[in-house]
Amino acid sequence: MPSADITEFRRVLASSKKILVLSGAGLSAASGIPTFRGEGGQWGKYNASDLAHRSAFEEDQSRVWKFFHYWRELIRGKHPNEAHYVLARLAIPGIRHAIAPDSKLTHITQNIDMLCTRALTETESALMQLSDSEIIEMHGRILDVICTSNHDCDYHATNVDSPICPGLAGTETKVAAGDWTAVVKRKDLPMCPRLGCGQMLRPDVVWFGERPKRIEEILELASEADLCLVVGTSAIVQPASRIGGMVKEHGGKVAVFDIEKSNHAEEADFLFLGPCETKLKEVLG
């Protein structure tokens, strides 16, 4: 049975040298961004296989772009919540070394909303101290776009335009209301701006069947970590779902922070049930 003993957890944290955080959609729930699964989840409303596959994009670019435009617009007005800030403070050496001396920390997030990075930048400015930790956004970033050309074009950029192109303007309200009827013509969808390219852009997010970003590095970190904090993820999607198990395989400890007992909770050493926006602070101090 996993323990909920905060004193014992702090003792383990204090002696950990290689700390991993693996976060998921639950981390951003208090920011008003819906999770994927469960009640109110995105995938309850929209079918993942219709939207998060390259084949879906090839079959119906209008439908997939309408969804990502809706999501871009949804995320635009959102801000980091207390859970993001607690994790960001842990990335500041002056704070973390007082809790876990001589430790390293890497935050691997499955979230594409960039809120972890925003919280870290704001924390660095507020404390006037730079972080010594990295955030790995393994499923990409919703505001980044890449060219779909299979040839020479390697266009990749962050695009914060709202809407990303005039053709998608207003479709987000219809999608939010469940109305998918509008079809945006190919020529009116986001196109690569490189002269002579003429191919379509796609969001630089990781769809099913695609290789997560920096996966070799992630697996190496998991094979070495002595503590992994798993925050707000159902741990259903591979390969992220394997990270906790990999840490345990070589004797590392796993602490799960989730609003409910999910799949991976049983194998955890520590289980802290509750909203992470309050629980992380209570446990980490």
Query: Any catalytic annotation for residue 151?
Result: no
Strand partners, 157: 145
Residue 282 near ligand BJW by CB under 6 A: no
- In the complex with ligand BJW, which residue's Cβ is closer, 127 or 265? 265
Dihedrals phi, psi of 122, to nearest 5 degrees: -65, -40
Residue 116 near ligand BJW by CB under 6 A: no
Which pair of tokens denotes residue 94?
């002056």
Q: Is residue 236 within 8 Å of 255, Cβ to Cβ?
A: no
Q: How far is the C-alpha of 97 from the C-alpha of 226, rounded, in Å?
A: 16
- Active-site position among 69, 107, 139, 264: 139
Q: How near is the Cβ of 270 to ligand BJW at its closest, in Å?
A: 14
Residue 212 near ligand BJW by CB under 6 A: yes
- In the complex with ligand BJW, which residue's Cβ is closer, 206 or 246? 206
Q: How near is the Cβ of 237 to ligand BJW at its closest, in Å?
A: 4
Q: Which spans in the chain are helix H?
A: 6-14, 42-45, 48-51, 54-59, 61-76, 82-90, 93-99, 115-127, 171-176, 215-224, 243-249, 276-284
Footprint on residues 188-217 left by Zn ion (CB under 5 A): 192, 194, 197, 199
Residue 147 near Zn ion by CB under 5 A: yes
Q: Which amino acid is at 70?
A: Y
Residue 137 near ligand BJW by CB under 6 A: no
- In the complex with ligand BJW, which residue's Cβ is closer, 94 or 282? 282
- Number of chain residues interacting with ligand BJW (CB under 6 A): 37
Name the residue with tokens 């809407």.
Answer: 163
Q: Is residue 257 within 8 Å of 267, Cβ to Cβ?
A: no
Residue 103 near ligand BJW by CB under 6 A: no
- In the complex with ligand BJW, which residue's Cβ is closer, 103 or 280? 280
Omega within 30 of 0 (cis) for the link into 212: no
Footprint on residues 22-51 left by ligand BJW (CB under 6 A): 24-26, 29-30, 35-38, 41
Tell me the residue length of the chain. 285
- In the complex with Zn ion, which residue's Cβ is closer, 32 or 193? 193
- Binder to ligand BJW among 5, 179, 260, 266 (CB under 6 A)? 260
